[in-house]
Each structure stands twice: as structure tokens, then as C-alpha cells.
């Protein structure tokens, strides 16, 4: 705690960070134009989408009618694809696998950049063994159907949480992380803090459902609600992120500071927001958060 408090003396870079909103990817044409915008923002000015990328996205969109619920929608996986394609990480970690839809999207985008390297390119972690949307189906079951040639490049870890990252990589080894698990505050923050040491310095973490709380509030104002709940955890985290960030509709990427201990003041201030979990789960999360913060020093 003494170390954490002394780090509080470090001023925040800015109250809410520089945010660029590149808008929704509503069509294939927008995929191409926004790809260029995103590449420029990420300092890869001349980067273009590789052969086969648009065809792959067409094939995924064709599945929309028959897809399992719970996975990311097309506007979000267009952004995910563009981000992976531009940054071209060799290894990505995902928290929240469900059917494996987004893990397959990531694996395919990595493969288009690096070909078949023969190794694991995506580590995806889920707390459950079977899908909440269909209890008869194991976590990650869609991966072999969606990307048959790449199934062996995705490793699914069930009954695990983000703390398992330390078993999968050395410091700074992941080129990108995608967090799409428990959206209740403070879980998204805990996931970020647990992954941060293993993501490259100055690397990016992608967060899903960064407008879920506000969306739920609007629904409630019109007398509607969502069965799955509409927590604010990812939204507060994204909105208050004090470093660079890029948003596109429900999904947003946050850039890690080069000195990871710089996350501490921001995290402590976000921890003052009321938790959206209670009882032992809240106590366990608070302990885990302090532990993760201490490990950043
Ligand atoms: C929204 S779904 C993920 C969807 C997936 N990313 C996709 O787009 O295809 C969220 C998943 O996170 C898992 N989950 C919930 N809390 C978790 C936690 N603390 N750690 C790891 N996984 C968690 C759930 O079991 C669920 O399968």
C-alpha cells in the first residue's frame, strides 16, 4: 500500500485521455476507408488490408442469420479485424471466449499477416466450461467450424480468469489483448491490470461493450430492459482511461502507457466508483486489484 500511495504522487497525463472516435463500420466500403484512418492513427500510414480479408468478412457476415447469440456483431468485428490486421501482433490474448467467434476472427486476421507460423497465435480464456447461450456446447466449440485450418493456432483455456495470463506468456509478449468477459465494475479494470504486464509496452487492449451502461439506461427510460443486465464497468474504464484511446461504436481500444506503473493513480480513482458486484465476489475482486496494482511497480 505504501508503494501504491507514493505512486499517487505521479500526476495523471490528462483527466480522460485523447480519444478519437472513428465511428461505426457500417459497410464493407467503410471497412476500407476506416482501415486507412485507423492505420494512420496507429502510425502505419501505408498499411492496406491484405488479400482475402474482405472475402473473409463477407463470409462471416453471411453467417449472421445463423449465428449464436452473445458474440460480437459485425460492426465490432470489422473494427477488431482492422485493428489486428494493422497492428499485426503474433500473439493475442482474449478474456471471454464463449463460442469462440471472436477468437476465430482474431486468428484469421493474424494468419493473413504472418501465414502459418506453426505456433499458437491466440490464447483465449473463459471462466466456464460450457457456453451460457447453449449449455450443451463446450466453450470455443465454433472455432474449428469457422476457421478449420487455424483451429490448432487457438488455445482455449476454460475455468480460468485473466490471472492465468501469467502462465501463458513472459512480460510484454502479447501484441494485443481483447477483453470481453464480465462487464461489471471492477472486473474490466481487474482484467486490464492483470493483462497489462504481459502486453507489450505501449501496446493496445481492446474493450467490448463500452456503451452498455448508457444503452441500458436509455432502455430503462423507455420502459425496456435487457435480460443479461447492462453494467457500466467497461464504459467507465474506457471513458476515464487517461491515455490514448480509439472508439468505434460499442468497441474501443486503449493504449497502455510505456511505464505500466502509470496505471496506478487512474486505477485507484476508478476504484472509488461503486462496485457492480457485492459480497464475497467484491471482496475477492478488491484483493485481486490491490495485488495486481502492487505487481505493476
Ligand atoms: C460476451 S461473452 C464473450 C463473447 C466472445 N468474445 C465473442 O465475441 O465471440 C462473455 C464470456 O465471458 C465469460 N466470462 C465471464 N466472466 C469471466 C471472467 N471473470 N473471466 C473469464 N471469462 C469470463 C463468460 O463465461 C462468457 O463466455
Residue 97: which residues within 8 A CB-CB, separation 6 or more? 103, 124, 125, 126, 139, 140, 156, 158
pLDDT above 90 covers a percentage of the chain that reads 88
Name the phi and psi angles at 157, rounded to 5: -115, 110
Ligand 1 pocket: which of 69, 72, 98, 105 to mutate (most atoms within 8 A of CB): 98
Using pLDDT thresholds of 50, 70 and 90, give the confidence band for residue 12: very low
Task: Please report the atom of ligand 1 found closest to the CA of residue 142.
Answer: 9
CATH number of the domain that 196 lies in? 3.40.50.150
pLDDT over 60 at 114, yes or no: yes
Q: Is the pTM of this model over 0.85?
A: yes
Mean pLDDT for the stretch of residues 1-24: 66
Which residue in the block uniquely carries the three cell numbers 501504491? 4
pLDDT over 70 at 203, yes or no: yes
- Verify whether ligand 1 is closer than 6 Å to residue 181 (CB atom): yes
How high is the pLDDT of residue 3? 59
Domain count, the chain: 1
Average pLDDT, the chain: 94
Q: Are 236 and 273 in contact (CB under 8 A)?
A: yes
Least confident stretch, 29-33, 66-70, 99-103, 237-241:
66-70
Name the phi and psi angles at 209, rounded to 5: 65, 50
pLDDT over 80 at 5, yes or no: no
- Give the residue whose CA is nearest to atom 7 of ligand 1: 71
Q: Are 95 and 81 in contact (CB under 8 A)?
A: no
3-state DSSP call for residue 27? coil
Ligand 1 pocket: which of 80, 97, 135 to mutate (most atoms within 8 A of CB): 97
Which residue in the block uniquely carries the three cell numbers 505456433? 119
What is the 168 CA–ligand 1 centroid distance (Å)? Answer: 18
Domain of 79 in residue numbering reads as: 2-295
Other CB atoms within a 10 A radius of the CB of residue 204 amount to 22
Closest CA to 243 of 255, 232, 231, 235: 255
pLDDT over 70 at 154, yes or no: yes
- Verify whether ligand 1 is closer than 6 Å to residue 276 (CB atom): no
CA–CA dist 131, 114 (Å, integer): 30
Using pLDDT thresholds of 50, 70 and 90, give the confidence band for residue 6: low
Ligand 1 pocket: which of 147, 181, 191 to mutate (most atoms within 8 A of CB): 181
pLDDT over 90 at 164, yes or no: yes
Q: Are 125 and 162 in contact (CB under 8 A)?
A: yes
Using pLDDT thresholds of 50, 70 and 90, give the confidence band for residue 11: very low
What is the 98 CA–ligand 1 centroid distance (Å)? Answer: 5
What is the 14 CA–ligand 1 centroid distance (Å)? Answer: 31
Closest CA to 82 of 23, 123, 37, 144: 37
pLDDT in tens, 208-263: 999 999 999 899 899 998 877 899 999 999 999 999 999 999 999 999 999 999 99
pLDDT over 70 at 2, yes or no: no
Amino acid at each position: 500500500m505504501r508503494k501504491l500511495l507514493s505512486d499517487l504522487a505521479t500526476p495523471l497525463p490528462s483527466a480522460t485521455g485523447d480519444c478519437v472516435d472513428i465511428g461505426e463500420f457500417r459497410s464493407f466500403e467503410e471497412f476500407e476507408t476506416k482501415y486507412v484512418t485507423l492505420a494512420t492513427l496507429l502510425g502505419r500510414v501505408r498499411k492496406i488490408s491484405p488479400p482475402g480479408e474482405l472475402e473473409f468478412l463477407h463470409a462471416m457476415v453471411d453467417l449472421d442469420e445463423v449465428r449464436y447469440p452473445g458474440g460480437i456483431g459485425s460492426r465490432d468485428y470489422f473494427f477488431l479485424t482492422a485493428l489486428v490486421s494493422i497492428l499485426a501482433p503474433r500473439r493475442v490474448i482474449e478474456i471471454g471466449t464463449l463460442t469462440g467467434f471472436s477468437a476465430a476472427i482474431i486468428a484469421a486476421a493474424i494468419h493473413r499477416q504472418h501465414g502459418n507460423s506453426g505456433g499458437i497465435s491466440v490464447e483465449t480464456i473463459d471462466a466456464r466450461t460450457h457456453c451460457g447461450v447453449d449449455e450443451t456446447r463446450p466453450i470455443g466449440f465454433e472455432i474449428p467450424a469457422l476457421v478449420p485450418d487455424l483451429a490448432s493456432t487457438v488455445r482455449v483455456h476454460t475455468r480460468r480468469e485473466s490471472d492465468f495470463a501469467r502462465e501463458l506468456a513472459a512480460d510484454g509478449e502479447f501484441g494485443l489483448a481483447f477483453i470481453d468477459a464480465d462487464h461489471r465494475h471492477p472486473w474490466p479494470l481487474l482484467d486490464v491490470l492483470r493483462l497489462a504486464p504481459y502486453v507489450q509496452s505501449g501496446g493496445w487492449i481492446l474493450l467490448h461493450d463500452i456503451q452498455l451502461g448508457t444503452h441500458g439506461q436509455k432502455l430503462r427510460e423507455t420502459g425496456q430492459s435487457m435480460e443479461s443486465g447492462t453494467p457500466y464497468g467497461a464504459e467507465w474504464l474506457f471513458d476515464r482511461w487517461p491515455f490514448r484511446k480509439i472508439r468505434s461504436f460499442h468497441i474501443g481500444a486503449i493504449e497502455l502507457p510505456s511505464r505500466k506503473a502509470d496505471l496506478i493513480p487512474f486505477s485507484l480513482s476508478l476504484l472509488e466508483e461503486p462496485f457492480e458486484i457485492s459480497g464475497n465476489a467484491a471482496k475477492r475482486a478488491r484483493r485481486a486489484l490491490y495485488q495486481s496494482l502492487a505487481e505493476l511497480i
